[in-house]
Amino acid sequence: MSDFYVIAVCHTIRDHHYITLWRPDDCGYTPVLPRAGKYDRQRIESHLDYYNTGDHIAVPVNAVDQLATSIPAGFFDHAGDGVPNTKASWDAIRAAVTYPTEWPIKPEWHGKRRRRTR
Protein backbone atom coordinates (compact mmCIF):
# COMPACT_ATOMS: atom_id res chain seq x y z
CA MET A 1 0.00 0.00 0.00
CA SER A 2 1.44 3.38 -0.95
CA ASP A 3 1.00 6.58 0.99
CA PHE A 4 0.40 10.10 -0.25
CA TYR A 5 1.14 13.60 0.88
CA VAL A 6 -1.56 16.17 0.19
CA ILE A 7 0.00 19.34 -1.17
CA ALA A 8 -1.83 22.61 -0.61
CA VAL A 9 -1.35 24.35 -3.95
CA CYS A 10 -3.65 27.19 -2.91
CA HIS A 11 -1.69 27.80 0.31
CA THR A 12 1.71 27.94 -1.39
CA ILE A 13 2.30 31.42 -2.76
CA ARG A 14 5.19 32.98 -4.68
CA ASP A 15 6.74 34.43 -1.54
CA HIS A 16 7.07 31.00 0.10
CA HIS A 17 10.46 29.31 -0.11
CA TYR A 18 8.95 25.86 0.56
CA ILE A 19 5.83 24.05 -0.62
CA THR A 20 2.95 23.72 1.87
CA LEU A 21 1.62 20.26 2.77
CA TRP A 22 -1.28 19.06 4.88
CA ARG A 23 -0.60 17.91 8.42
CA PRO A 24 -1.96 14.57 9.71
CA ASP A 25 -5.71 13.99 10.03
CA ASP A 26 -6.63 17.00 7.85
CA CYS A 27 -5.49 19.36 10.63
CA GLY A 28 -3.54 22.33 9.37
CA TYR A 29 -0.57 22.92 7.10
CA THR A 30 3.21 22.67 7.26
CA PRO A 31 6.20 23.09 4.94
CA VAL A 32 8.25 20.63 7.04
CA LEU A 33 8.03 17.04 5.73
CA PRO A 34 8.39 15.23 9.09
CA ARG A 35 5.31 17.12 10.32
CA ALA A 36 3.26 16.44 7.18
CA GLY A 37 0.51 13.84 7.15
CA LYS A 38 0.78 10.63 5.16
CA TYR A 39 -2.56 9.49 3.81
CA ASP A 40 -3.19 5.93 2.59
CA ARG A 41 -4.44 5.13 -0.89
CA GLN A 42 -7.87 3.95 0.33
CA ARG A 43 -8.52 7.23 2.13
CA ILE A 44 -7.42 9.30 -0.88
CA GLU A 45 -9.45 7.25 -3.37
CA SER A 46 -12.60 7.37 -1.24
CA HIS A 47 -12.45 11.19 -1.07
CA LEU A 48 -10.82 12.36 -4.31
CA ASP A 49 -13.20 15.33 -4.45
CA TYR A 50 -11.64 16.53 -1.18
CA TYR A 51 -7.96 15.56 -1.44
CA ASN A 52 -7.37 16.01 -5.16
CA THR A 53 -9.19 19.07 -6.46
CA GLY A 54 -6.37 20.96 -8.14
CA ASP A 55 -6.15 23.42 -5.25
CA HIS A 56 -5.00 20.43 -3.19
CA ILE A 57 -3.29 17.44 -4.78
CA ALA A 58 -2.45 13.94 -3.57
CA VAL A 59 1.10 12.98 -4.55
CA PRO A 60 2.92 9.73 -3.72
CA VAL A 61 5.25 10.10 -0.74
CA ASN A 62 8.28 8.71 -2.59
CA ALA A 63 7.93 11.32 -5.38
CA VAL A 64 7.84 14.18 -2.86
CA ASP A 65 10.61 12.78 -0.66
CA GLN A 66 12.96 12.74 -3.67
CA LEU A 67 12.59 16.53 -3.94
CA ALA A 68 13.33 17.24 -0.27
CA THR A 69 16.19 19.47 0.84
CA SER A 70 17.36 20.52 4.28
CA ILE A 71 15.69 23.62 5.64
CA PRO A 72 18.20 25.93 7.36
CA ALA A 73 18.07 25.81 11.16
CA GLY A 74 15.74 28.45 12.55
CA PHE A 75 13.91 29.04 9.26
CA PHE A 76 10.77 27.49 10.78
CA ASP A 77 9.91 26.58 14.36
CA HIS A 78 10.40 22.88 13.60
CA ALA A 79 13.43 21.36 11.91
CA GLY A 80 13.32 18.93 9.03
CA ASP A 81 13.41 18.69 5.28
CA GLY A 82 11.12 20.59 2.94
CA VAL A 83 10.39 20.80 -0.77
CA PRO A 84 11.71 23.98 -2.41
CA ASN A 85 9.01 26.10 -4.01
CA THR A 86 10.59 26.10 -7.48
CA LYS A 87 9.38 25.48 -11.00
CA ALA A 88 11.45 22.27 -11.14
CA SER A 89 9.77 20.96 -7.97
CA TRP A 90 6.31 21.78 -9.28
CA ASP A 91 7.04 20.15 -12.65
CA ALA A 92 8.09 16.94 -10.85
CA ILE A 93 5.07 17.08 -8.53
CA ARG A 94 2.61 17.60 -11.39
CA ALA A 95 4.21 14.69 -13.27
CA ALA A 96 3.74 12.45 -10.20
CA VAL A 97 0.04 13.22 -9.64
CA THR A 98 -1.74 9.86 -9.81
CA TYR A 99 -5.39 10.90 -10.11
CA PRO A 100 -6.99 13.50 -12.40
CA THR A 101 -7.98 16.73 -10.68
CA GLU A 102 -11.28 18.57 -10.92
CA TRP A 103 -9.50 21.86 -11.64
CA PRO A 104 -6.15 22.66 -13.30
CA ILE A 105 -3.13 22.66 -10.99
CA LYS A 106 -1.84 26.25 -10.98
CA PRO A 107 1.10 26.59 -8.60
CA GLU A 108 2.94 29.79 -7.79
CA TRP A 109 6.63 29.14 -7.26
CA HIS A 110 9.22 31.39 -5.66
CA GLY A 111 10.18 34.09 -8.15
CA LYS A 112 7.29 33.47 -10.57
CA ARG A 113 6.08 36.64 -12.25
CA ARG A 114 2.70 37.98 -11.30
CA ARG A 115 -0.11 37.82 -13.77
CA ARG A 116 -0.96 41.18 -15.20
CA THR A 117 -4.35 42.50 -14.23
CA ARG A 118 -6.17 45.33 -15.90
Please indicate, yes or no, if residue 10 is contained in any of the structural domains.
yes
Please indicate, yes or no, if residue 116 is contained in any of the structural domains.
no
Please indicate, yes or no, if residue 111 is contained in any of the structural domains.
no
- Its pTM stands at 0.89
How many domains, in total, are found in the chain? 1
pLDDT, one tens digit for every residue, the chain (118 residues): 579 999 999 999 999 999 999 999 999 999 999 999 999 999 999 999 999 999 999 999 999 999 999 998 888 878 899 999 999 999 999 999 999 999 999 998 877 766 666 5
CA 75, CA 85: separation in Å to the nearest integer? 14
Q: Which DSSP symbol is given to 74?
A: T
| Phi and psi angles of residue 58, each rounded to the nearest 5 degrees, phi first | -90, 125
Determine the structural domain holding residue 51 and report its residue range: 3-96
